[in-house]
Amino acid sequence: MQYDTMNYDALALVTHKLGAQQEPAELHGTLTGLLCANGNATADIWLQNLFPHGPSGDLLGDEAFGELKKLHETSRKELNATGCEFHLLLPDDGSDLDQRVHALGEWCQGFLVGLSLGGISDFKALPEDGREIAEDIVEIARADSSYSFDGSEEDEHAYAELVEYLRVGVLLINEELQPSHAPVVGDTTLH
């Protein structure tokens, strides 16, 4: 199933309208981590953390909050869909590789904050595979951004592989922390 997902630039406009301190990638990472740690986390829990004083009360602020609530619902559905529709909200491939790598680091920082907001303060609480992925996310978030990319095909390929690793890793963490209750295919016996 295809969900109506906000893109990075649209999220940047929404966060700008609200005067958010977080960059769009970090904001989405926080949401994703929170949903992985606490599948019942409402949009209000996430938004309260980001904007403790709530919307500004004007039409633009209310519309922006509405868009963020839609992003929450879409992200929740994508994380729990059976077709692996989830993706990290990052700048598109037309952006400079340096910008995309920086945003990826911010996304990882946000994801870790979200896990903490959802109650995962110690990775020892995670199953082994999820713990290893979370530790990798810590390393990516800490990565030194002083490295300069030349935009080579090799750099692009490495970036794409890293994004895919994170996407699949986040889905694994989500499944470990929020196991689906759907019946397992092939689990029925016919007589």
pLDDT tens-digit profile, the chain (191 residues): 444 568 999 999 988 888 888 899 999 999 999 999 999 999 999 998 888 776 666 677 788 889 999 999 999 999 988 877 899 999 999 999 999 999 999 999 999 999 999 999 899 888 999 999 999 999 999 876 666 677 789 999 999 999 999 999 999 999 999 887 444 444 444 44
Q: Do the domain assignments include residue 166?
A: yes
Question: At 178, is the secondary structure helix, strand, or coil?
Answer: coil
Q: Do the domain assignments include residue 188?
A: no
Cα gap 8→119, rounded to integer Å: 27
Residue 186, CA atoms < 13 Å, CB-side half-sphere:
0
- In 3D space, the residue among 106, 57, 82 whose CA is nearest the CA of residue 1 turns out to be 82
Cα gap 168→173, rounded to integer Å: 9
Q: Do the domain assignments include residue 2?
A: no
Q: What pLDDT, on the 0 to 100 scale, is given for residue 191?
A: 45
Q: What pLDDT, on the 0 to 100 scale, is given for residue 1?
A: 43
Task: Please count the structural domains in the chain.
Answer: 1
Name the residue with tokens 């893109």: 7
| Spacing of C-alpha 60 from chain mean position | 25
Q: What pLDDT, on the 0 to 100 scale, is given for residue 67?
A: 92
Between the CA of residue 136 and those of 18, 43, 86, what are the distances in Å?
Answer: 32, 27, 19
Q: What pLDDT, on the 0 to 100 scale, is given for residue 147?
A: 65
User: Do residues 6 and 71 touch, judged by C-beta distance below 8 A?
Assistant: yes
Q: Do the domain assignments include residue 81?
A: yes
Cα gap 138→186, rounded to integer Å: 37
Q: Do the domain assignments include residue 190?
A: no
Q: Do the domain assignments include residue 187?
A: no
Q: The domain containing residue 102 runs over which residues?
A: 8-177
Q: Do the domain assignments include residue 183?
A: no
Q: Do the domain assignments include residue 25?
A: yes
Instruction: Output the domain CATH number for residue 35.
Output: 1.20.120.740
Cα gap 177→179, rounded to integer Å: 6
Q: What pLDDT, on the 0 to 100 scale, is given for residue 190?
A: 45
Q: What's the alpha-carbon Rg for the chain, to the nearest Å?
A: 17
